[in-house]
Structures are given as C-alpha cells and as structure tokens.
Homo-oligomer: A and B are copies of this chain.
C-alpha cells in the first residue's frame, strides 16, 4: 500500500477534527485559546491520533468511533511538548519549525495552554460515541490517565530530567522511554482497537504493536538527532549530543541502534500476523518509522 497519501489523508482528517473540537479562536480569553490552537495546529506528524484511527480500522471499526479519542491523544502530546519546552525544562526556542509556545505567547500563557490542552483531552475522551459502551469509554479514560501521568509520560519526563545529571545505562534509558513516549503510543493503539470493537485478543496484539513501535520510534528519534538536519526536522539537531545526554546511538553505537529499531519493527509487524489487509497501514507505519532514519 501507499503510505504517503494515507498519512496525508489521515493527517487532514485529524487536523480538521482538531480545528472543530478545540475552543474557537475568537473565544475569550483569546491569548489562551490562541496559544492552544497555535501549538496544536502549527504542524506535527499526528502519529498518535493516526495510530488510534489505524488500530480502529484494523479491527474493522468506523473511523468516527475513534476520532474524539484520537484528538485527545494529540492534545496530550502537544501539552507535553509545550511544558517540556519551557525554560525550567528543556528551554527550547524552536518546535516544528516555529517559535515554541512560551517564545510566542510568554511563559505564563504557555503553562496555562498546556494545562488547558491536557484538560481538554479528557473532555474529548468523555464525549459520547455511538456504538461504544460507556464502560469501555470510562476504562479508556482511566488508561489514558495512567499512560499520561505519574506512571507514564509525566513520570518518564521526570526520570529524563533526573537522568541528565548522571551517566545512564541502557536499561535506564529504556525505562525513561517506555514511560515518556511509549506509554502514550501504547494507549493510542489500545484505545483505537477497543473503540473499533476489537476482540480481547486483537486489543492485546495491537497494544503490543504499540509498545514495540513506540520504542522503535524513540530509538529512531535519537538516531535522527545524530544524523538529521534542522531543516528537515524543523527543530534543532545534535541537541542531545551537545548536552552530553544519553541516547541509543551513544550507548549502543549507531549501527546497533539501527539494528535494535529494525528488530522492534519486525516485532511490531509480527503482532499483526492475524490481521487482514485492514492492518496494512499499521504494517506500513512500522516500516516508515525505520525508513526515516536511512
């Protein structure tokens, strides 16, 4: 299958839905709604919402069933980027080729825009969805909160900050990524599968797919920071190296990091064995995550 037009189409669907589901730009307080919309709509791959939609499709569900939750995933992801970029955290000036939220709107507004996006994610996740039982939606809200909070993304960011101050071993680096990026990608897949009406076995396989893909994605992100360039990525590269930060290429060597990503990609693909052609986008996505580092 052709991944590029598929991704372009799904990105368009997600961005149209986000535009519709976010507080309107003329809604007061405009600095806040402006900052929320700015950070969400300036771009991004939309990987997490696209995974949610693709897992929904893979189990034969209609896209609409997963759209609110898909947008919630992107709200959580974007809020985490806004807060991670803050002066007290990574102090980044550039994100997706544009000034970071606090550079554009000021620090107080950026903190609040992140808070509002996180809150909005749960508002979206709680919206009624035809054909999905309320119990299932409640369970997914619990899963999203677990994946985004202390035991997931926020905990991972904390471990990451602590890790900057001392040399890390590979197992510690993996632990950071399993929490910081892995948990959210996993729940993106899990939610799509459940909202689409997947069987418990299908849900289990797609959750495992998400785990493998999430780790592969982080390894390739580290590789791109080594070998990519600012223009292609829309953000500064070599940052991790300059900060003497632990990365997979640094701890394993570049070739071994590529091999690890390749192995994870194959594992992700194996999780899809029992799925038909409806899972082709997921198969192509696993290939794509690797391909971008070559």
Contact = CB atoms under 8 A, between A and B. Distances in A.
A209 interface: no
The A interface, classified by DSSP as helix, strand, loop or mixed, is helix
Nearest to A145: B123
B29 A158 contact: yes
A151 to B, nearest CB: 7
A23 B154 contact: no
Contact of A142 (B108, B114, B126, B150): B126
10 contacts: A23-B151, A32-B154, A83-B112, A88-B106, A115-B149, A119-B148, A120-B149, A126-B139, A126-B145, A138-B141
Given A88-B111, A116-B149, 11 more contacts: A23-B151, A29-B158, A31-B158, A32-B150, A33-B150, A83-B115, A88-B106, A112-B161, A119-B148, A119-B150, A141-B141
Interface of A: 23, 27-29, 31-33, 36, 79, 83, 86, 88-89, 106-109, 111-112, 114-116, 118-120, 122-123, 125-128, 133-135, 137-139, 141-142, 144-146, 148-151, 154-155, 157-159, 161-162
